[in-house]
Amino acid sequence: MALLRTKEIRAMDTAARDKRLRELRDELMHERGVAAMGGAPPNPGKIRALRKNIARIYTIQSQEGPSAAPSAAPATTPGRKEPEKTRAPAKEEPGEADELEDELDEDVEEDKA
């Protein structure tokens, strides 16, 4: 498992990059399976190296834009308006209605006693 350099990744076309990404993900899944079953990994740093290589590919794909990443979904759908964000209504200042409500609560408590 060789370390992929950014120059090498940038030199790849998108098809080769996608193929390499699939290979790395499969290899990572295999290594995680071996580790989960309690097997001693022959190379303990391999999982970390695989994760870094996958991250490098994703980073370069995002830097080159959405045209370079065919599996990337658009951030927003064209022609669709984002919903407006709503806020909770502001708390009202305690006023006359609150005082009356407190008096009624006190009366109800006195009736119960």
| pLDDT tens column, 22-71 | 999 999 999 998 888 887 777 889 999 999 999 999 999 999 876 644 45
pLDDT of residue 101: 76
What CATH number does the domain containing 56 carry? Answer: 1.10.287.310
Structural domain count of the chain: 1
The range of the structural domain enclosing residue 28 comes to 6-64
Tell me if 98 is assigned to some domain.
no
User: Cα dist. 96→6, 18, 87, 103, 108 in Å?
Assistant: 69, 68, 26, 11, 19
Q: How many CB atoms are located within 10 Å of the residue 31 CB?
A: 20
**Cα distance between residue 16 and residue 22, in whole Å:** 10
| pLDDT tens column, 7-20 | 999 999 999 999 99
Tell me if 58 is assigned to some domain.
yes
Tell me if 20 is assigned to some domain.
yes
Tell me if 30 is assigned to some domain.
yes
Tell me if 111 is assigned to some domain.
no
Q: Are 68 and 18 in contact (CB under 8 A)?
A: no
